[in-house]
Amino acid sequence: MGATESVDWKYFEQTEDALSALKKEHFTLLAVEQTENSVYLNDFKVKKGQKFGLIFGHEVKGVDQKVVDLSDLVLEIPQKGTKHSLNISVSIGVTLWDLSTKIEQLNN
């Protein structure tokens, strides 16, 4: 709905190239995925002035392991019950809300 006209963005052929560019600009790369060493989103602490590059994967396949390996940290959204999967748009919304709330609290 026109967001590409009001938000700076850049296209990369390969995800790895995008991550490399973000690292050069001192972004902390956060993959959102379920892995052995993931940190629950609600336990993740932000630091003032920290910039984040958020990585979300395919709804079924998740974040590619090569991309997980290039990330600084893996965040996991805690889930209860037997189903451990969220729609990608829900995952993005939950993660953005949580991080923006934490950043706002730091700035107040």
Q: Domain 3-107, what fold?
A: Alpha/beta knot (3.40.1280)
Distance CA 49, CA 52 (A): 10
Between residues 85 and 77, which one has the greater pLDDT?
77
Whole-prediction pTM: 0.89
| 8-61 residue pLDDT tens | 889 999 999 999 999 999 999 999 999 999 999 999 999 999 999 999 998 888
- Whole-number Cα distances in Å, 60 to 15, 64, 84, 89: 18, 11, 11, 13
pLDDT value of position 59 = 82
Cβ count near 22 (within 10 Å): 18
